[in-house]
Structure 1
Amino acid sequence: MKAAPIKGRGSISNNTSRFEQFQREPFDDEWPEIEPEAESKSATTVSFETAKSIISRNDSPDIPFDQSINPYRGCEHGCIYCYARPTHAYLNHSPGLDFETRLYAKGNAAELLRKEFSKPSYVPKLIALGANTDPYRPIERKLRITASILAVMEEFNHPVAITSKSASVIQDIDVLARLARKNLVRVFMSVGSLDRTIARTLEPRASTPGARLDAIRRLSEVGVPCGVIVAPVIPALTDHDMEKILFYAKDAGAEAAAYVLLRLPLEIAELFREWLAAHHPLKEAHVMNLVRQMRNGKMYDSDYSSRMKGTGVFAELLRQRFKRACLKAGLNQARPPLDTTLFSRPPEKRSQLSLF
């Protein structure tokens, strides 16, 4: 039985995680589908978790930061290509529909971060906000966990880099402007396609491409340094938009740019193929063949030297196109590091006066 797309969701299936002993597969039992049940399966639920730590650290040579914070698990944006999907398997959830609907919020994130910064042993380094999942997904408008983290960043004068595909980042424009005046923040907006029809199914609950470019403009107008990440670049589907995205972002005020080739580790390969078959069936074989060409004949190659950009003729063509477009647009001319020297710990609040 072929699964049908669910309105407002990227995933079409909800297969069990790779760690489960038993696997579930849909089949046609000749009974009519019950629509209310299908709707209930796609409803969003949010659970609060008490995190034990808040700063994640990595030593990957192809990632430009070694500290990051993710205020949430799962992401309602529903981007079918999201490389964070397989992490939901660690919670015994499906990287498919569960990833978009069964969300977790770290309610004590700001408290943990304040404790971490207050340690005498802590050495300030750039922290990336939203390295795994988007810090500005729809539930942030109500929960404001990302906003509470930014408040701690401002309190300690700590540098932060934000990556998002949501125009909701402008709801924190005031604090971002204050941080920018101290050279403590940079915002990167991810834009993979300018085609709203493709974006509507590829990343169904993220902001429209136009809204993201407008967010760059509004942030730039108040002095927040911005960049654009063309991601993911999907061969034969969205790669033709690369140059337009770079030029439009520059016109909006972006100063820096990067791009990331489509990555399909673990369960994402089948989820993406399923999405292609449902929304772009005539391009499915061509897109997947080009993906293999850029991944040494495989769906995915995790080698640090090539996983972000790929290998082969098509990957080299993308590199040259990106380089020439950035040069022509005037992007990536300079990217001064954010300031770590302003970091300071506020005086501790005491219940009684100090003797000295």
Structure 2
Amino acid sequence: MPGGGASITALPKISLHDHLDGGLRPQTIVELADEIGYQLPENDAAKLTSWFSSQADSGSLVDYLKTFDVTIAVMQTTEGLKRVASEFVHDLAADGVIYGEIRWAPEQHLQKGLDLDQVVSAVQQGLEEGVDAVRSSGRSIRVGQLLSSMRQTERGTDIAELAIRHRDRGVIGFDIAGPEAGFPPSRMRGAFDLLAHNYMPATVHAGEADGLDSIRSALFDGRALRLGHGVRLAEDITIANEDDENTYVTLGDLAQWVKDREIALELSPSSNLQTGAIEQWGDEMIDHPFDLLYQLGFRVTVNTDNRLMSATTLSRELALLTEAFGYDLTDLEVFQINAAAAAFLPIEERDELSEAISVGFERA
């Protein structure tokens, strides 16, 4: 591990794929549940932490997603949303994140009478409170909202319109999430058309619980500028060992397209293991196609997906990859520069992020 885990935490980092409802503090869940009378599987924060980890270690994305019933249940009020959002920013900053894109699905937070605009505004208030508090402590962080539409529902156009309405009030992009297999991006083609006509960028969960057709649909129906996970793009890469000394790698048309256009892959190593996204290659970190994609020149980025469910941080994910593949600080910097280049920000601001990353790594 380059410099030890503590130094990785101190390095400036960028988080592109981090779910708001997957990053709650267990103690906060306990307290919010008590306020609204919601019955938790465990009422002690430590035991609840263990429950999330065990439930998430299922090898199935569908089972993994069931843990969100608990977190979403305590995020149905203005105060609950504000608290969760504010603490989310604090936790990112404590992990050395200087820029974070925070995704969540507003349509899942209407059970107590709030409407779509109200829940987005509540989250934005919480994010701004968190940013102000972090900055007052002498640290630097910036965040933006990615609004996700659940792919199994029919609200894609509603959420696209919502994102456009709030684009100058904290929302920087659009996403679709939820069960991937059987719910291709093509089902929301109208929403993606609307976003494109309004110059709103989109990232799409694809290549996690489904394969190459899902990725194709994300790119060509969803006009995705990034792929949420995208790990199964490795299915379009052929490796042939002709003898002990010569290995030949061939990219399929889809993989070549993604590489040539530098479409970022929002890889989440621990989550990919938990959900079975990489089961065809193995069940340990060393089996993850991350290094293959990196060595072949794809724009790989490192992400947490859901910090609570995976019991992880961005620093931990970097440390796990370093341990598995022998990366050094130069490699870790590349991952952050890749993320800066893929951020849903104007190019001048992306360049500023890249410079901040370079300066921080030079000081390490």
User: TM (normalized to structure 1)?
Assistant: 0.40
More helix by share: 2
Which protein is bigger by CA-based radius of gyration? Answer: 1
User: TM (normalized to structure 2)?
Assistant: 0.39
